[in-house]
Amino acid sequence: MSKREEVNKMLGARDRVAENPARTDMIRMAVANREVIVAANGALATWTPPESTGRSPKDTLIVKRAASEAKIDWDSPNNIPVSEETFEMLFADAVEVLSKKSELYVTDRVLGADPAYALPVRVVTDKALTVLFTDNMFRPIPEGIEKSVFCGREFTLLALPYDKLDRDRYQGRLRNLADGKASDLAVVIDLDQRVGLVYGSAYCGSVKKLMFSVMNYMLPEENILPLHCSANEGQNGHVALLLGLSGTGKTTLSADPERALLGDDEHGWSDAGIANFENGCYAKMINIDAEKEPEIFKAIMHEDDYLQHGSIVENAMVYPDGVFDFDDERLTPNSRGSYLLSELSNIKPSSVAGHPRTILFLTADANGVLPPISKLNPAQAMLWFLMGYTSKLAGTETGITEPVTTFSRFFGEPFMPCNPDVYAGMLGSRMENHKSEVFLVNTGWSGGPFGEGERMDIKLTRALVKAAMNGDLSTVDYVDDPIFHVMVPQSCPGVDAGILNPRDTWRDGSAYDKRAQKLAGEFAAHFAKAYGNKNIAPEVAEQCPGC
Q: What angle do CA 68, 69, 70 make, to 5 degrees?
A: 95
Provide the total of helices (H) and of strands (E) in the chain, helices listed first.
14, 30
Count Cα atoms within 13 angstroms, Cβ side, for 134.
31
| Structural domain range at position 214 | 3-222
In a domain, 298, yes or no: no
Question: Do residues 189 and 271 share a domain?
Answer: no
The one-letter code for the residue type at 503 is R
CA distance 131 to 168: 30
In a domain, 319, yes or no: no
Rg of the chain (C-alpha set): 23
Choose the final residue of a domain: 186, 205, 222: 222
Question: Do residues 46 and 162 share a domain?
Answer: yes
Banded pLDDT at 534 (limits 50, 70, 90)? confident
Are 524 and 546 a contacting pair, CB within 8 Å? yes
In a domain, 435, yes or no: yes
**Domains of the chain: total:** 2
Question: Do residues 39 and 7 share a domain?
Answer: yes
Q: Residue 178: what pLDDT?
A: 86
In a domain, 339, yes or no: no
User: Looking at 147-151, 165-169, 251-255, which range is the least confident one?
Assistant: 251-255
Q: Residue 400: what pLDDT?
A: 60
Question: Do residues 97 and 246 share a domain?
Answer: no
Q: How far is CA 502 from CA 51, 214, 444, 507, 517, in A?
A: 38, 39, 12, 11, 14
List, by residue number, the catalytic residues.
55, 209, 228, 246, 250-251, 265, 336
Are 391 and 274 a contacting pair, CB within 8 Å? no
> Average pLDDT for residues 56-71, to the nearest whole number?
96
Question: Do residues 417 and 507 share a domain?
Answer: yes
Banded pLDDT at 397 (limits 50, 70, 90)? low
Banded pLDDT at 388 (limits 50, 70, 90)? very high
In a domain, 118, yes or no: yes
Q: Residue 536: what pLDDT?
A: 86
| Res. 192: pLDDT tops 80 | yes
Q: Any residues with CB less than 8 A from the CB of 288 and at least 6 apart, and which?
A: 296, 297, 300, 326
Q: Residue 394: what pLDDT?
A: 57
Q: Residue 401: what pLDDT?
A: 58
- Closest CA relative to residue 417, chosen from 186, 250, 219, 128: 219
Q: Any residues with CB less than 8 A from the CB of 21 and at least 6 apart, and which?
A: 29, 105, 131
Q: Residue 194: what pLDDT?
A: 98
| Res. 203: pLDDT tops 60 | yes
CA distance 253 to 269: 20
Choose the final residue of a domain: 202, 222, 242: 222
Question: Do residues 163 and 86 share a domain?
Answer: yes
The 10s digit of each residue's pLDDT in 74-96 is: 999 999 999 999 999 999 999 99
Give the chain's largest Cα–Cα span. 71
| Res. 393: pLDDT tops 80 | no
| Res. 402: pLDDT tops 80 | no
In a domain, 317, yes or no: no
Question: Do residues 465 and 526 share a domain?
Answer: yes
Question: Do residues 116 and 256 share a domain?
Answer: no
Q: Residue 7: what pLDDT?
A: 96
Question: Do residues 152 and 234 share a domain?
Answer: no
| Res. 404: pLDDT tops 90 | no
Banded pLDDT at 212 (limits 50, 70, 90)? very high
Question: With the CA atoms of 5, 203, 367 and 538 taken in that order, what torsion angle do they form, in degrees rounded to the nearest 10?
Answer: 0
Choose the final residue of a domain: 176, 201, 222: 222
- Closest CA relative to residue 62, chosen from 184, 212, 159, 189: 189
Percent of the chain scored above 70 by pLDDT? Answer: 98
Q: Which residue has the higher pLDDT, 402 or 436?
A: 436
User: Looking at 108-112, 122-126, 421-425, 524-528, which range is the least confident one?
Assistant: 421-425
The 10s digit of each residue's pLDDT in 266-303 is: 999 999 999 999 999 999 999 999 998 999 999 999 99
The 10s digit of each residue's pLDDT in 106-115 is: 999 999 999 9
| Res. 399: pLDDT tops 70 | no
Q: Residue 533: what pLDDT?
A: 76
In a domain, 296, yes or no: no
Rounded to the nearest integer, the mean pLDDT of the chain is 95
Q: Any residues with CB less than 8 A from the CB of 393 and at least 6 apart, and which?
A: 246, 247, 333, 364, 400, 403
In a domain, 448, yes or no: yes
> Average pLDDT for residues 24-41, to the nearest whole number?
98
In this structure, the number of other CB atoms found within 10 A of the CB of residue 65 comes to: 16
pTM for the model: 0.93
Q: Residue 1: what pLDDT?
A: 87
Highest-confidence segment of 48-52, 119-123, 405-409? 119-123
Q: Which residue has the higher pLDDT, 127 or 533?
A: 127
The 10s digit of each residue's pLDDT in 309-356 is: 999 999 999 999 999 999 999 999 999 999 999 999 999 999 999 999
Question: Do residues 449 and 530 share a domain?
Answer: yes
Q: How far is CA 59 from CA 35, 142, 157, 201, 439, in A?
A: 24, 33, 16, 10, 34
Question: Do residues 234 and 209 share a domain?
Answer: no
CATH number at residue 261: 3.90.228.20
Question: Do residues 265 and 197 share a domain?
Answer: no
CATH number at residue 94: 3.40.449.10
